[in-house]
Amino acid sequence: MDLRALIMAGGIGTRFWPLSRKQRPKQFLPILSHKTMLEETVARLLPRLQPEHILTIADERLTQIIRTFLPELPAENTLIEPEARNTAPCLLLATAHLYLENPEAVLAVLPADHSIQDTDLFMQRILAGAEAAATGNRLVTFGIPPTYPATGYGYIRFDLTSSARFQNSSFYSVREFKEKPDPDMAQKFCEAGTYYWNSGMFLWQARVFARQIEKFAPELHAHWDALLDAVSRRDPALICEVYSRLPATSIDYALMEKSQGVLMGEGDFGWSDVGSWSALSEFWPADEQGNAVRGKYVFIESRNCLVYSPKKLTALIGVQDLIVVETDDALLICPKDQDQKVKDLVASLRKKGKDEYL
Spatial neighbors of 229 by CB under 8 A, at least 6 apart, are 238
Least separation in angstroms between residue 336's CB and a second copy is: 10
The angle, 0 to 180 degrees and rounded to 10, between the axes of the packed helices 224-232 and 87-101 is 60
- Greatest Cα pair distance, the chain, in angstroms, is 65
The amino acid at 154: G
Q: Is 326 in the site for a second copy (CB under 8 A)?
A: yes
- Contacting a second copy (CB under 8 A), which of 182, 288, 328, 355? 328
CA-CA distance, 248 to 308, in Å (whole number)?
36
**Closest-CA residue to 208 (of 134, 110, 130):** 134
Q: Is 306 in the site for a second copy (CB under 8 A)?
A: no
Least separation in angstroms between residue 306's CB and a second copy is: 13
Q: Is 84 in the site for a second copy (CB under 8 A)?
A: no
- Contacting a second copy (CB under 8 A), which of 148, 288, 300, 353? 300
| CB closer to a second copy out of 124 and 340 | 340
| CB closer to a second copy out of 43 and 315 | 315
Least separation in angstroms between residue 17's CB and a second copy is: 8
Do 294 and 284 touch, CB atoms closer than 8 A? yes
Q: Is 341 in the site for a second copy (CB under 8 A)?
A: yes
- Contacting a second copy (CB under 8 A), which of 216, 283, 284, 357? 357
Q: Is 333 in the site for a second copy (CB under 8 A)?
A: yes
- The piece of 33-41, 64-72, 134-142, 339-347 that touches a second copy (CB under 8 A) is 339-347
CA-CA distance, 91 to 98, in Å (whole number)?
11
Cα–Cα–Cα angle for 54, 55, 56, nearest 5°? 130
Do 9 and 55 touch, CB atoms closer than 8 A? no
Do 276 and 339 touch, CB atoms closer than 8 A? yes
Q: Is 353 in the site for a second copy (CB under 8 A)?
A: no
Q: Is 354 in the site for a second copy (CB under 8 A)?
A: yes
CA-CA distance, 101 to 201, in Å (whole number)?
22
Spatial neighbors of 214 by CB under 8 A, at least 6 apart, are 221, 224
Q: Is 128 in the site for a second copy (CB under 8 A)?
A: no
Q: Is 309 in the site for a second copy (CB under 8 A)?
A: yes
CA-CA distance, 129 to 254, in Å (whole number)?
21
- What is the DSSP annotation of 199-258? EEEEEEEHHHHHHHHHHH-HHHHTTHHHHHHHHHTT-HHHHHHHHHHS----HIIIIITT
Q: Is 338 in the site for a second copy (CB under 8 A)?
A: yes
One character per residue 16-55, x = contact with a second copy (rule: CB under 8 A): -xx-------------------------------------
Q: Is 345 in the site for a second copy (CB under 8 A)?
A: yes
CA-CA distance, 351 to 354, in Å (whole number)?
8
The amino acid at 87: T
Least separation in angstroms between residue 331's CB and a second copy is: 5
Q: Is 64 in the site for a second copy (CB under 8 A)?
A: no
Residues that contact a second copy, how many (by CB under 8 A): 37
- Contacting a second copy (CB under 8 A), which of 1, 160, 248, 331? 331
Q: Is 277 in the site for a second copy (CB under 8 A)?
A: no
Residues that bind a second copy (CB under 8 A): 17-18, 298, 300-301, 309, 312-319, 322, 324, 326-335, 338-339, 341-342, 344-345, 348-349, 352, 354, 357
